[in-house]
Amino acid sequence: MKIAIASGKGGTGKSTVAANLACTLSRSREVVLVDCDVEEPNLHLFFPATTVDVPVTTPVPEIDPARCTLCGECGKFCRFGALSVLKDRVLVFPELCHSCGGCSLVCPQGAVREVPRTVGRVACSRPLPALVLISGVLNEGEVQAPAVIRAAKLLAEGHPLTLYDASPGIACPVIETLEGSDACILVTESTPFGLHDLRLAAEVVERVGIPAGVVINRSDGKDEETLDFCRERGLPVIMTIPFSREIAAVQNRGGLIAALLPGWEERFVALFEAVVKIAGVSP
Amino acid sequence: MIVGITARAAGTDAPVEQRFGRAPYFVFVDTETGKAESVENPLVDAAGGVGPRAVQMFSEHGATVVITGQVGGNAAKALEVGGIKAYAYRGSGSVADALAQYTAGNLQPLPLA
Ligand code: SF4
Ligand code: SF4
């Protein structure tokens, strides 16, 4: 079973929910937690451990000057501006390339060869006896987040229970993360902004066609608007984490409430059971 | 020599556009014959990577000098490698005015590196 944890924007406590859930589940079974927030992975902060790193490469063009006639086709085709055909050479901007492969297709001379270029890495570790953490890390200044997410998810393949922590927002990295998930946990806060972002995120999961439930984080007890929205959309609210000093204190030092505060492990077990029900598959 | 100038519209009377890759028009002037060719920039609404693609258009038109307001990093690199010199025109005058200023030696080169 694959569960994605997402939110319409950053700072809702999405990673905290993912980390607590992973920690809780690892007490009773093998769990793989995949950090798909490759531009700013942070789950390793909850689970420090030594890692094994696997580089992630994507194909980028290399031009053979002996064959190239400087016809200009590749530069006209590339809509990312990764190629400039000049008077005496083709200039490649590998960091702008999205590896669509189009330039090698349009080149009439067969002068474009694809060579691998490292855009990031996947860091694997086993911070707890039954928890494997796989973190995708996109190198600074790179654009190909989906490639790193795909690699991280691929390394997690074959495990019976996988949690994907998505990047905040609703752009293509999130869709890449949601792809193939059985259910999605949407983390939100009960503020007007939180509701706006929840609405956007709910639309994305609906479009990808994944059943979802909502976790309200840092609730001040006045969640009516969020609850109304969820009822309207048929989204079950599967957990409410109240705003409390005690919880904030644990989380501010990078601690997990499931491990440190009484009662929370049980609540995260219940969260998992609720997600299983939503997904409609056996765990 | 062919000088390419970023412009808001076609023709040498058009005002100069400060943005390089997103200029609505490029006006190419042959300084020997005085002939001007205006080319509509297909990249005005493109999502990204407009700089290097605009440089390719300048290169295709045989321009060795570009007059514009500012160029981004990737475009600057392409201009440098392509041997196209860039000059800064920060006024609000026309393409013809920018060209006159350039010919008079009043324009500063844009740093490309
Ligand atoms: S592979 Fe696609 S994105 Fe990359 S340079 Fe070629 S055409 Fe551009
Ligand atoms: S399409 Fe091929 S031949 Fe034409 S400029 Fe590009 S690499 Fe050279």
Predicted confidence (pLDDT) per residue in A35-76, tens digit: 999 999 999 999 999 999 999 999 999 999 999 999 999 999
* CB B40 within 8 Å of CB B25: yes
pLDDT score of A176: 87
Answer whether A86 touches B (CB < 8 Å). yes
Lowest mean pLDDT: which of A28-42, A111-125, B16-30, B37-51?
B37-51
In this complex, is the C-beta atom of A172 within 8 Å of any C-beta atom belonging to chain B? Answer: no
Tens-place pLDDT, residues A71-120 = 999 999 998 999 999 999 999 999 899 999 999 999 999 999 999 999 99
Q: Where are the domains of chain A?
A: 2-56+120-279, 57-118
Cα-to-chain-centroid distance, residue A41: 9
- Is the CB of residue B68 less than 8 Å from the CB of residue B91? no
Amino acid found at A185 = I
The answer to whether residue A19 scores a pLDDT higher than 90 is yes
Mean residue pLDDT across chain A = 92
Considering every ligand atom shown, identify the ligand nearest to the alpha carbon of residue A110 and give its number. Answer: 2
Chain A residues whose CB is inside 8 A of the B52 CB are: 75, 81-84, 91, 93, 96
Which has the closest alpha carbon to A239: A204, A281, A190?
Answer: A190
Structure confidence by residue, pLDDT tens digits, B71-87? 988 899 999 989 999 99
Calculate mean pLDDT across residues A214-231: 91
Q: Tell me the whole-structure pTM to 2 decimals.
A: 0.79
Q: Are B36 and B28 in contact (CB under 8 A)?
A: yes
A79 and B55 within 8 Å at the Cβ level: the answer is no
Q: Which atom of ligand 2 is nearest to the CA of A85?
A: 5
- The percentage of residues in chain B with a pLDDT greater than 90, rounded to a whole number, is 79
pLDDT of residue A9: 77
Tokens matching residue A258: 């499931």
B45 CA distance to ligand 2 middle (Å) = 25
Please provide the CATH number assigned to the domain covering A57-118: 3.30.70.20
Domains of chain B, with CATH numbers? 2-43+63-109 (3.30.420.130)
Distance in angstroms (rounded) separating the CA atoms of residues A220 and A240? 10
Query: What's the rounded Cα separation, in Å, for the pair A26 and B45?
Result: 50
> ipTM > 0.90?
no
pLDDT of residue A282: 58
Q: Please report which ligand is nearest the Cα atom of A108.
A: 2
User: What's residue B4's pLDDT?
Assistant: 97
Contact yes or no for A64/A111 (Cβ under 8 A)? yes
pLDDT digits (tens, 9 = 90+) for A194-218: 888 899 899 989 988 999 999 999 9
* Interval between CA A83 and ligand 2 midpoint (Å): 10
Of A82, A83, A86, the CB nearest to B82: A86
Interval between CA B111 and ligand 1 midpoint (Å): 28
Q: What's residue A24's pLDDT?
A: 96
Give yes or no for residue A107 CB within 6 A of ligand 1.
Answer: no
Q: How far is ligand 2, taken at its centre, from the CA of residue B54, in Å?
A: 17
Give residue A283's pLDDT band: very low, low, confident or very high (50, 70, 90). Answer: low
CB count within 10 Å of CB A146 equals: 21
Give A-chain residues touching B78 at CB under 8 angstroms.
Answer: 84, 86, 91
| B113: pLDDT strictly greater than 90 | no
Chain A nearest-CA residue for B74: A93
pLDDT one-digit tens code per residue, A153-178 = 999 998 899 999 998 777 788 888 88
Q: What is the mean pLDDT of chain B?
A: 92
Exposure on the CB side of residue A32, measured as CA atoms within 13 A:
20
Contacts of A10 (CB under 8 A, 6+ apart): A168, A169
**Nearest Cα to A187, choosing from A239, A227, A109?**
A239
Residues of B in contact with A87 (CB under 8 A): 59, 82-83
Residue length of chain A: 283
Which CATH class for the A2-56+120-279 domain?
Answer: alpha beta
Give me the mean pLDDT over the A7-36 stretch.
92
Distance of CA B89 to the CA centre of its chain: 10
The pLDDT > 70 percentage for chain A reads 99
Mutation probe of ligand 1 site: the residue of A78, A91, A114 with most atoms within 8 A of C-beta: A78
Q: Are A134 and A156 spatial neighbours (Cβ–Cβ below 8 Å)?
A: yes
